[in-house]
Amino acid sequence: MIDIQEIVNIADELIFSHIGEHLNDLQKTVLLGTIQGKSYLEIASEAQYTEKYIKDTAGKLWALLGSV
């Protein structure tokens, strides 16, 4: 069975092969938290960002992942 961190690593590799850039730490945190079933509010609290900033980051991340 694949672990959660491996999913994040695979997503990072796919993004890198598509646009030549790696996911940043916050994007990885959002992806990991989402996979773990955390709300944006929980992710924001743990990462010390606002919920709005996490939502904005997540929206851009989903669009980026959708383009791969």
1 pLDDT exceeds 80? no
Q: What pLDDT is attached to residue 65? A: 94
The count of structural domains within the chain is 1
Average pLDDT, the chain: 96
Task: Identify the domain containing residue 15 by its residue range.
Answer: 4-66
Burial tier of 48 (Cβ tally within 10 Å: 0-12, 13-18, 19+): exposed
Measuring CA to CA, which residue among 6, 61, 52 is closest to residue 30?
61
Q: Per residue in 6-38, pLDDT tens?
A: 999 999 999 999 999 999 999 999 999 999 999
Contacts of 13 (CB under 8 A, 6+ apart): none
